[in-house]
C-alpha cells in the first residue's frame, strides 16, 4: 500500500481531537490539531486571539505548521497516517472571516494532496467553547459550510462520519478506508 494521509475535518467541537486520540491509542500514527498550539504561543506573547487580531499572520503560521505536519507524515514509516485538519482548513477559515487568500495558500492546497477526507458533523451535544475555541455554536455551523465548500473546491470527496460513540466512529472510519 502506498502512503495514505487521511484527514479528519469538521467545524469546532465535532469530535475530531477525541477521535484522533482514539486512533492513536489503537496504534495508528496520528498528528493532532496544531492551531491550539499557535493560539497558546500567541497568548503567551500577550495576543489574546491572534486569529481575530491578526488573521493573516495567524493563517500564515498555521499554513507553515500544517505543511510541516504533511511533510513529516510523508516521512513516516507507517503507510497510514491520520491528521486532525489539513491545509485547506486555513483557506476555509479565511473565507469565513472574509479575508482575501494569498496565492501561495492556494498553491499549498494544490501541491499537498490528502488521500481521504472524513468530515465530522457539528454536534450540539458535544459542543464546548474554551480559551482556544471561541466560536459560538452558530459560528461553528458557518465554519462547517466553509470547510465543505473549500475541500470540494480542491476536488475532494468528503466522507460523512455519523454522530455516534467514539468507538463506532472509529470503526466507521476504518471500514471506509478501502484503498
Local confidence band at 179 (pLDDT 50, 70, 90 cut-offs):
low
Which residue, 93, 95, 86, 103, is CA-closest to 51? 93
Supply the pLDDT for residue 129.
Answer: 63
Asked if 148 and 10 touch (Cβ cutoff 8 Å), the reply is no
Residue 9 phi, psi dihedral angles, 5° rounding:
-125, 170
Estimate to the nearest angstrom the gap between the alpha carbon of 151 and the chain centroid: 11
pLDDT at residue 39 in the model:
77
At residue 173, the pLDDT reads: 97
| pLDDT value, residue 132 | 52
d(CA 151, CA 160): 13
Q: What pLDDT was estimated at residue 56?
A: 85
Q: Domains of the chain: which residue ranges?
A: 4-175
> How far is it, in rounded angstroms, from Cα 116 to Cα 179?
10
pLDDT in tens, 52-64: 677 788 888 899 9
Q: What is the mean pLDDT of residues 10-30?
A: 92
pLDDT at residue 133, rounded to an integer:
54
4-175: CATH topology: Rossmann fold (3.40.50)
| Cα(176)–Cα(124) distance, integer angstroms | 25
Query: Average pLDDT in the 2-17 region?
Result: 91
The cell numbers describing 3, all together, are: 502512503
CB 89, CB 120: distance < 8 Å: no
Q: Is the pTM of this model over 0.85?
A: yes
The Cα 164–Cα 43 span in angstroms is 34
Amino acid at each position: 500500500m502506498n502512503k495514505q494521509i487521511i484527514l479528519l475535518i469538521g467545524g469546532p467541537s465535532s469530535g475530531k481531537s477525541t477521535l484522533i486520540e482514539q486512533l492513536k491509542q489503537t496504534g495508528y500514527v496520528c498528528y493532532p490539531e496544531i492551531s491550539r498550539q499557535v493560539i497558546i504561543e500567541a497568548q503567551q506573547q500577550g495576543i489574546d486571539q491572534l486569529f481575530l487580531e491578526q488573521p493573516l499572520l495567524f493563517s500564515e503560521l498555521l499554513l507553515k505548521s500544517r505543511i510541516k505536519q504533511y511533510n513529516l507524515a510523508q516521512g513516516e514509516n507507517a503507510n497510514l497516517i491520520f491528521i486532525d485538519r489539513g491545509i485547506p482548513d486555513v483557506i476555509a477559515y479565511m473565507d469565513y472571516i472574509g479575508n482575501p487568500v494569498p496565492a501561495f495558500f492556494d498553491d499549498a492546497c494544490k501541491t499537498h494532496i490528502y488521500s481521504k477526507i472524513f468530515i465530522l458533523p457539528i454536534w450540539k451535544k458535544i459542543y464546548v467553547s474554551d480559551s482556544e475555541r471561541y466560536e459560538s455554536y452558530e459560528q461553528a455551523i458557518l465554519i462547517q459550510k466553509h470547510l465543505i465548500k473549500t475541500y470540494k473546491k480542491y476536488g475532494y470527496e468528503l466522507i460523512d462520519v455519523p454522530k455516534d460513540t467514539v468507538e463506532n466512529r472509529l470503526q466507521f472510519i476504518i471500514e471506509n478506508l478501502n484503498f
